[in-house]
Amino acid sequence: MEYDVVVVGSGPAGSVTARFAAEAGANVLILERRAEVGVPVLCGEGISQRVDKWDMLEGKRWIASKMDGAKIYSPNGTLVTLSKEVAGNETGYVVYRDIFDQELARRAVKAGAKILMRAEVTDLLKDGGKISGVKVRQFNEEFNIKADVVVGADGVESKIGQWAGFNTILKPGDLETCVQYTLTNVDHKSDYCEFFLGKKIAPGGYVWIFPKGKDTFNVGIGILASLSKPGMPLKLLNKFISNHSDLKKGEPVRLLAGAVPVANPIETVRDNLLLVGDAARHSDPITGGGLTTALEGGKIAGVTIGKAVEKKTFDKEILSIYETNWKETFGKKLHRDYVLKNILLDFEDKTLNMLADSLKDYKFEEFSTLSLIKALVFKHPTLLMKLKPLLKLSEKSK
């Protein structure tokens, strides 16, 4: 088998890369090791409504609910609210990630991409040192697929990145280890996504409650792996739920685990190869959100590959257009939030309580991390010394 492009992984970054490469005329194959695109879900399922402007998803079937804003609870329960009224109506959706992923894959197929299911990549194919495709195992067969470009869209544990010689191994301080229940029959009225902070609640992370429509909620936890102990996320999540008067009446219809890079983005390009999505560490180090960057990065990757196919040149130089453009589009923001993550990790619970107290009646200008940083600096000029480098990074990342 021979293709222009082989994409390893049919998550959002892989499917969007495949779609835009195919739309530019490339002959594209997606390899998926699972038996169903999008299953099992490994995600909190929140996404910004900015996605509406991007022509990525058709219809509404992938939307579970629309959020009215965010409520952030400090360790002592002090509430900071970012509501849609003050945030210019642009907040977020809670999605069905399985349908979401299948819709993105459908768009890739519509553009001409092919998909092989249950196809596990076991190694890169090399031709005199040059990456020339992948080795695949599907059911009991092993075979090679030749391609001019290999796209590693194989998630947080990316093997493609390792095989291509990137240093993709995450430090425990750069990974959030997560579990989530989808709880039903919950007696909780909220159209907000809610976040709970505190060293006793979720060390180096947070607990979230995302409304999924009617009486159903995604309730999850992320803990920084360097601060975790065996099974700690599940234990702390169970404790949180049993202490929450509304949630404890609910019953789970789903339990899932997840691992989210909260790292600085890495190098993403080699001759004949690039990395997208979680494999490229394109998730936000503060929020852990990675869907919008997967979509934006995937589009940039697909368009770049389209140009490479047109010019029949697949070296690092031409593929670097992708790296330059993702850095411009969201790379600076990811770096800013990585610096901010490390500052926030040093804050004691009482500092977070004090900061939340000063922001409890604050009217935020927009629904963003930047808006929170600005408010903190406005309220606490002494924090300015610590946060000043961030504001500089923020100006750059606009």
Partner 1 sequence: MGKLNTKVDERGCLACGGCISICPQAALIMFGGRAFVREDKCICCGICIKTCPIGAICEVD
The residues that touch partner 1, with contacts defined as CB under 8 A, are 33-34, 40, 42, 120, 155-159, 162, 168-172, 175, 177-179, 223, 225, 228-234, 255-259, 261
Q: Tell me the closest approach of the beta carbon of residue 44 to partner 1, in angstroms.
A: 12
47 and 92 in contact (C-beta within 8 Å)?
Answer: yes
What tokens were used for 355? 């900061």
Q: Which is nearer to partner 1, 133 or 220 (CB)?
A: 220
Q: Which is nearer to partner 1, 118 or 392 (CB)?
A: 118
Q: Tell me the closest approach of the beta carbon of residue 46 to partner 1, in angstroms.
A: 17
Q: Tell me the closest approach of the beta carbon of residue 273 to partner 1, in angstroms.
A: 18
DSSP codes of every residue in 195-218: EE--TTTSTTSEEEEEE-STT-EE
Radius of gyration (C-alpha) of the chain in whole angstroms: 21
Q: Tell me the closest approach of the beta carbon of residue 59 to partner 1, in angstroms.
A: 29
Q: How far apart (Å, rounded) are the C-alpha atoms in residues 60 and 158?
A: 31
246 and 184 in contact (C-beta within 8 Å)?
Answer: no
Residue position matching structure tokens 């040093």? 346
Q: Which is nearer to partner 1, 228 or 397 (CB)?
A: 228
160 and 275 in contact (C-beta within 8 Å)?
Answer: yes
Q: Which is nearer to partner 1, 23 or 278 (CB)?
A: 278
Q: What phi and psi values does residue 211 have, to the nearest 5 degrees?
A: -70, 130
- Sequence-ordered list of residues with C-beta below 8 angstroms from that of 289, at least 6 positions apart, any chain: 46, 47, 48, 283
Q: Tell me the closest approach of the beta carbon of residue 343 to partner 1, in angstroms.
A: 23
Q: Tell me the closest approach of the beta carbon of residue 222 to partner 1, in angstroms.
A: 9
- Tell me if residue 308 falls in helix, strand or coil: helix
Q: Which is nearer to partner 1, 140 or 245 (CB)?
A: 140
Q: Tell me the closest approach of the beta carbon of residue 254 to partner 1, in angstroms.
A: 11
Q: Which is nearer to partner 1, 79 or 169 (CB)?
A: 169
- Tell me if residue 286 falls in helix, strand or coil: coil
Q: Tell me the closest approach of the beta carbon of residue 320 to partner 1, in angstroms.
A: 25
Q: How far does Cα 239 stand from its chain's mean position? A: 26
Q: Which is nearer to partner 1, 92 or 258 (CB)?
A: 258
Q: Which is nearer to partner 1, 259 or 343 (CB)?
A: 259
Q: Which is nearer to partner 1, 289 or 306 (CB)?
A: 289
Q: Tell me the closest approach of the beta carbon of residue 175 to partner 1, in angstroms.
A: 6
What tokens were used for 92? 């977020």
Q: How far apart (Å, rounded) are the C-alpha atoms in residues 210 and 207?
A: 10
Q: Tell me the closest approach of the beta carbon of residue 228 to partner 1, in angstroms.
A: 6
Q: Is the dihedral of CA 345, 347, 353, 357 positive or negative?
A: negative
Q: Tell me the closest approach of the beta carbon of residue 174 to partner 1, in angstroms.
A: 8
Beta-bridge partner residues of 177: 223, 259
284 and 368 in contact (C-beta within 8 Å)?
Answer: no
Identify the helix (H) or strand (E) that includes residue 145: strand 141-152
What tokens were used for 201? 């609640």
Q: Which is nearer to partner 1, 250 or 261 (CB)?
A: 261
Q: How far apart (Å, rounded) are the C-alpha atoms in residues 6 and 27?
A: 9
- Sequence-ordered list of residues with C-beta below 8 angstroms from that of 31, at least 6 positions apart, any chain: 6, 7, 8, 9, 10, 115, 116, 119, 120, 121, 134, 136, 145
Q: Which is nearer to partner 1, 13 or 63 (CB)?
A: 13
